[in-house]
Amino acid sequence: MTATTVRRGGLGLLAWLAGIVFFLPIAWMALTSFHSEADAATNPPSFTAAFTLDGYREFFGTGGGASPWPALLNSAVASVASTLLVLLLALPAAYALSIRRVRKWTDVLFFFLSTKMLPAVAGLLPVYLFAKNAGMLDNIWLLVVLYTSMNLPIAVWMMQSFLAEVPVAVIEAAQIDGARLPTVLARVVAPIALPGIAATSLICFIFSWNELLFARVLTGVVAETAPVFLTGFITSQGLFLAKVCAASLVVSLPVLAAGFAAQDKLVQGLSLGAVK
Amino acid sequence: MTATTTTPLSTAPVPAVRRPSARLRAWSTRAPLLPALIFMIAVTQLPFVATLVISFFDWNALYPDARRFTGFDNYHQVLTDADLRRSVGTTVLLTAAVVIASLVLGLALALLLDRRFRGRGVVRTLLIAPFLVVPVAAALLWKHVLYNPEYGLFNGLLHYVGGPQPDWISHTPLLAVEASLVWQWTPFMMLILLAGLQSRDPEQIEAARVDGASDWQIFRHLTLPHLRRYLELGALLGSIYIVQNFDAVFTITSGGLGTANLPYTVYQSFYQAHENGLASAAGVLVVIGSLVIATLALRVVSSLFREEVSRA
C-alpha cells in the first residue's frame, strides 16, 4: 500500500465523517420522534430507548389538540396548484425564449431574474392591504398566486435552458415533413425536455411548500399552511420533543422526497439556471 | 446563436396558413411570452410601487383617519431609530457570517466529494439532506432538540466528555441562529462549487500534473481561478436568500436578544405595531440595500450565461 492510497482512503473517510456530522441532526430528529416523551428528554441522551409511535399520534391530534391535516392539505393545494400555474405560464414563455426566440430574449430573461433578487418582504404590506380590501385574506388561492410569482422566474430560466437543448434542425425536419406545431411539440420537443420540466416542477414545489412569511401574514385558521402550523411549536410546551420531531419530520418528508428525486437538477434550479 | 427576429423556424413552410405580415409574425412570436410577463409585472412590480408610495405617508393602521403625507419623515425616523439601525447591522452581520462560513465549508466538502471514493453517492445524499428540511422545521430542530440546555443533543454530548452545559440561545443568540443557517446553506454552496469543480478541463489538469505541478499548485493556480465565478455566484445567491431570512430568526429567537434582522423588523412594524408608513420605508431601504448585491449577482449570472450560450 503506497502513501497515496493511504491518503486517498483517509480523504474518503473524512468525506464520510463530514456526511455523517451533517446528517446527524436529522438522524437524531428521526430517532427522537420514535421515542416516548420521557425518553426524549433525558441528559445524557438515551439512544437505545424503546420505540413508540406516541409522538406521531400526538402530532396527528389523536391525543387532543388541533389536527395538522387541514394545514398539510392547504400546503399541498398551494404547492401543487402554484406549480401547475407556473408550468402553464413558463412553458410558452420558455418556448418564446429558446426555440422561436423573440427579439432581445436575453433582456427578457434577465428581467425575470431581477424580480427574484428583490426582497419579497418589501412587497408584503401592499399585498396584505390589497388582500384585506379584496376579501382575500385567509384564502389559499392568494398564496397560489404569490407562490406562482415567486417561482415563475426560476421556472422560466430552467426551462429556457432545457428547451434550448432541443436541436432546431430536428424541429425543422419535422415541419418540412408536414407536422403541425402541436405534433412537433408533443413528438419532438416534449421527449427531450420532459426530465427537465419534471425537475423544475419539483423545485417549484419545494419552494412553495417551505414558504413561511407570506403564509404567516396572509392566512389564519382556514388557509394556514404546514409551516404556519409548525410555528405553534415555537414556545416550549412541557415535554414535547418527540412530538416536535415527529411534526418536523412529517412536514419535511415531501420536500426530502422531491429534493432527492430532483438531485441532479437541484443546482441548476437553485442557481436560477446559471450553473448546469 | 444570436438573437434575431426571424429564426430558422419561421421560414419553414407552414401548410394551409397564408404567409402573415411581418408585424403579425412578430406578435405571434411574442404572444407565448406575454401571459408570464404580464403576470410578473402585476404581481411583483406593482406592490413595490405601492410600497414606495406608502413609505411617504404617516399611516398607522389603527388610526386610519390620521393618514397624511409626510415626505421623507419615515425615512428619517427609520434611519435614526436605534432599533432599526441595529437591525441593519444585524442583517449585515448575519448574512456575511452565514455566507462566508457556508462558502468555506461548502468548498471543503466539494473538494472532498470531487474525488472518487467508496459510497460517494451516499455521502452526497447525506450532505444535501439539511438543505431539504423545511426551514421552520430545521429551526425548531435546532431550537428545541439540539440547543435545549437541559436535554438538547449538544449538551447531552458535552455531558459525555464532562464539558460545560451552556444555554446556547441565551448566551450566543446570533451565533445560534447563524449556526443553524450555516448547516442548511453549506449543502447549497457545496452543490454550486461541485458543479464548478466538475466543469474544469481535465486535460489541463493532467498536463499540469505531467509538468510536475503539486496538488497545492494545481489548486492555487488552476482550480481556484476557475472556481472564482462559482464562488461569486454562491456568495451572491446566498446573500440574496439569507438577507431575506425570516424563518430562522422568527423561530429560534423571535427576533429577541439582538437578533432581529430587517425582514423581521419590517414584519414586526406592520404586523404588531401596525405602522404601515414606517414598515414601507424600511422595506424600500431593504430593496435599495439589495440592489447593490442584485446588480453584482446579475453581472455574474450573465457572464456565466453568455459562456453557456456561446458554447452551445
Judged by a CB distance cut-off of 8 A, whether residue A48 touches chain B is no
Quote the mean pLDDT of chain B: 84
Nearest by CB to B126, from A19, A104, A178: name it.
A19
Judged by a CB distance cut-off of 8 A, whether residue A134 touches chain B is no
On chain B, the residues whose CB falls within 8 A of the CB of A106 are 3, 302, 305
Residue B12's pLDDT is what?
A: 46
Mean pLDDT confidence for A226-238:
87
Residue A240's pLDDT is what?
A: 84
Which of the given ranges, A120-124, B89-93, B134-138, has the highest pLDDT on average?
B134-138
Q: Does residue A77 carry a pLDDT above 90?
A: yes
Question: What separation in angstroms does the CA of B282 have from each of A118, B78, B85, B253?
Answer: 14, 6, 10, 21
Residue A276's pLDDT is what?
A: 66
Residue A124's pLDDT is what?
A: 85
Quote the mean pLDDT of chain A: 86
Contact at 8 Å (CB) between B40 and A106? Answer: no
Identify which has the larger pLDDT, A229 or B288.
Answer: A229
* CATH 1.10.150.20 fits domain B73-311: no
DSSP β-bridge partners for residue B60: B275
Q: Which H or E run contains A114?
A: helix A105-117
Q: Enumerate domains of chain A plus CATH numbers.
A: 69-226+251-270 (1.10.3720.10)
User: pLDDT tens across A159-188, in order?
Assistant: 888 888 788 888 888 888 887 888 888 888
Residue B312's pLDDT is what?
A: 54
pLDDT band at A154 (very low <50, low <70, confident <90, very high): confident
Q: Which H or E run contains B57?
A: strand B57-58
Tell me which chain A residue has its CA closest to the CA of residue B198. Answer: A276
DSSP β-bridge partners for residue B58: B68
Q: Say yes or no for a CB contact (<8 Å) between A100 and B9.
A: yes
The string of DSSP codes covering A138-186 is T-HHHHHHHHHHHHHHHHHHHHHHHHTTS-HHHHHHHHHTT--HHHHII
Q: Does residue B281 carry a pLDDT above 90?
A: no
Residue B284's pLDDT is what?
A: 86
Nearest by CB to B123, from A19, A93, A124: name it.
A19
Q: Does residue A208 carry a pLDDT above 50?
A: yes
Residue B248's pLDDT is what?
A: 92
β B68-69/B57-58 pair status: antiparallel
Backbone dihedral angles phi then psi of residue B58, each to the nearest 5 degrees = -85, 110
- Report the alpha-carbon distance of residue A116 to residue B301 in Å, rounded: 13
Nearest by CB to A92, from B35, B156, B297: name it.
B35
Q: Does residue B3 carry a pLDDT above 50?
A: no
Count of other CB atoms within 10 angstroms of residue B13: 9
- Report the alpha-carbon distance of residue A273 to residue A132 in Å, rounded: 36
- Report the alpha-carbon distance of residue B138 to residue B140 in Å, rounded: 5
If DSSP states are collapsed to H, E and C, what string results for A183-224? HHHHHHHHHHHHHHHHHHHHHHHHHHHHCCHHHHHHCCCCCC
pLDDT band at B18 (very low <50, low <70, confident <90, very high): low
Contact at 8 Å (CB) between A124 and B283? Answer: yes
Residue B288's pLDDT is what?
A: 83
Residue B157's pLDDT is what?
A: 86
Residue A78's pLDDT is what?
A: 95
Q: Does residue B1 carry a pLDDT above 50?
A: no
User: pLDDT tens across A23-74, in order?
Assistant: 999 999 999 999 888 788 877 788 888 888 888 888 887 656 688 899 999 9
Residue A266's pLDDT is what?
A: 78
- Report the alpha-carbon distance of residue B65 to residue B255 in Å, rounded: 31
pLDDT band at B308 (very low <50, low <70, confident <90, very high): low
Contact at 8 Å (CB) between B202 and B114? Answer: no
Nearest by CB to A11, from B33, B112, B138: name it.
B112
Looking at CA atoms only, how far is residue B195 from chain A in angstroms? 7
Cell of A29: 430528529
- Report the alpha-carbon distance of residue B265 to residue A125 in Å, rounded: 13
User: pLDDT tens across B165-195, in order?
Assistant: 888 888 889 999 999 999 999 999 999 899 8
Tell me which chain B residue has its CA closest to the CA of residue A164. Answer: B312
Residue B122's pLDDT is what?
A: 92
Mean pLDDT confidence for B58-65:
78
Nearest by CB to B39, from A89, A99, A121: name it.
A89
Burial bucket for residue A165 (CB in 10 Å: 0-12, 13-18, 19+): exposed
Q: Does residue A152 carry a pLDDT above 70?
A: yes
User: pLDDT tens across B202-248, in order?
Assistant: 888 889 889 888 888 888 888 888 888 889 888 888 888 898 889 99
On chain B, the residues whose CB falls within 8 A of the CB of A212 are 135-136, 246-247, 250
User: pLDDT tens across B68-122, in order?
Assistant: 787 788 888 888 888 888 888 898 899 999 999 999 999 999 999 988 888 888 9
On chain B, the residues whose CB falls within 8 A of the CB of A231 are 136, 250-251
Full-model pTM: 0.86
Residue A1's pLDDT is what?
A: 53
- CB neighbours of A90 closer than 8 A, spacing ≥ 6? A152, A155, A156, A159, A200, B36
